[in-house]
Structure 1
């Protein structure tokens, strides 16, 4: 099995080394590509150090500026698709996504083109969220389902596993989302193309270190971006 996890980072120095170690504990065969957006906290330098210690498993792509999660993913995807990986995964770098869920992803991807890690497949599976954050997340999930008509319980999830062929089928030139809406746009395009999508339950744990990237600007972008996505397609 040839698999790689693409990990966009911005100011994740406090979490990155532990995440890499936890992925390694699961499997020494899973590669990682850290895509750092010139983090001022030294995340990029730490990523280089981790790569030097693990030259056959950890790779680093440095970008000059922070211009959106979506663009970071696109640059990462383009790089890994030059190699012979069968499966490409997306994970948050803040320890919110537990590598212990990876076996479920690999089991499901055998019969799917895309597997989505859902916080809401079996009820609500989140840790350390206050009521406001939980309500906001559920509202966002329901909004995305209503607007896009995609039959997913967690279209905003950042923990996903793609078959190589599915990712190649999407193409990236026509994407307009640069922020978190990119995660929705990817799944929406996959659904519209008729790709087979499955879901596995995950437990999402709120970050312990560093600052959350969620603010009202991000929320506004998401609301408008999802509506724009539906209007364009």
Structure 2
């Protein structure tokens, strides 16, 4: 059976972390969870440590000091998962904006295409619930901008709910990934595509968080805007 790990970065997610972990573990398919906590002052990591007593072989925690960025959290998680021998590696938010019940669908799509499965908000219309109109327009227009500049035939270029086959992450030079915030999601997709991997979109419904606080900021969005232009002119080499 394929080994599957779900990476969940956290910062102040005490309202959500126990519920999301228990939901993932309730699914068929034996998904393990790696939480990467950036020094949450609200005690998120302490909740995870308590849960580890109940799930010692399925729940793992990496604690980092301070907010070091979403991209660096995932890169840390990717390296750990590769070292541990996982076959499929997922990105997922802690706040239930990504429905854990979609994990098996992403796994099925990634295993079939041997590439990257993307939980897409826009491949079947606009499937976003409880977002302000301005946020929807910003996200949707960002994907159009990325498609135009980079030429990827992906509807949801900024999606953060994904499943990678091991081969993709082994091939990408993770040390050369440069964007750390919102743009990280774009850079990873584009790099995989430029290296010849298949990218498949799986329609999902994205539901805005009900508990906790969003981490989105104007600076994060600005990094992505200028970073996409730089991506267009970069060369990508396979690791090794």
> Is TM (by shorter chain) over 0.5?
yes
Query: How far apart are the structure 2 equivalents of 1:28 and 1:101?
Result: 12
Which residue of structure 2 aligns with residue 176 of structure 1?
178
Deviation at 1:83, TM superposition (A): 1.3
Match of residue 129 from structure 1? 131
After TM superposition, the score normalised by the length of structure 1 is: 0.96
Q: Alignment partner for residue 188 of structure 2, among 180, 186, 189?
A: 186
Deviations 1:173-232 (A, max 9, x none): 111111121111000000000101111001101001111111222221221222222233
List per-residue Cα deviations over 1:28-83 (Å, max 9, x = no partner). 71100000011111111112112222111110001112111111111111111111
Query: Of residues 139, 152, 165 in structure 1, which corresponds to 2:154?
Result: 152
Match of 1:60 in 2: 61
Length, aligned pairs only: 233
Name the residue aligned to 2:15: 14
Post-superposition offset of 1:98? 0.4
Q: Secondary structure at the match of 2:212?
A: coil
Alignment partners' CA distance in 1, 2:87 and 2:76: 18
Aligned partner of 1:166 in structure 2 is: 168
Which residue matches 1:109? 110
Is 2:228 aligned against 1:226? yes
Correspondence list, 1:190-229, <5 A: 190-229=192-231
Query: Structure 1 regions of 5+ residues with no counterpart?
Result: none
| Counterparts of 1:57 and 1:27, CA distance in 2 | 14
Q: Is the 8 A contact 1:28 1:57 kept in 2?
A: no
**Structure 2: distance between partners of 1:199 and 1:123:** 13
1:103 offset after TM fit, Å? Answer: 2.3
Give the conservation status (yes or no) of the 8 Å contact 1:120–1:153: yes
Q: State the TM-score, normalized to the length of structure 2.
A: 0.93
**C-alpha distance in structure 1 between counterparts of 2:52 and 2:81, whole Å:** 16
CA contact 1:4–1:33 (8 Å) conserved in 2: yes
Deviation beyond 2 Å, 4+ runs, structure 1:
none
For residues 67-107 of structure 1, give each alpha carbon's deviation from its aligned partner in whole angstroms, at most 9, with x where no partner exists. 11111111111111111211101101111100111221122
Q: Distance in 1 between matches of 2:6 and 2:222?
A: 29
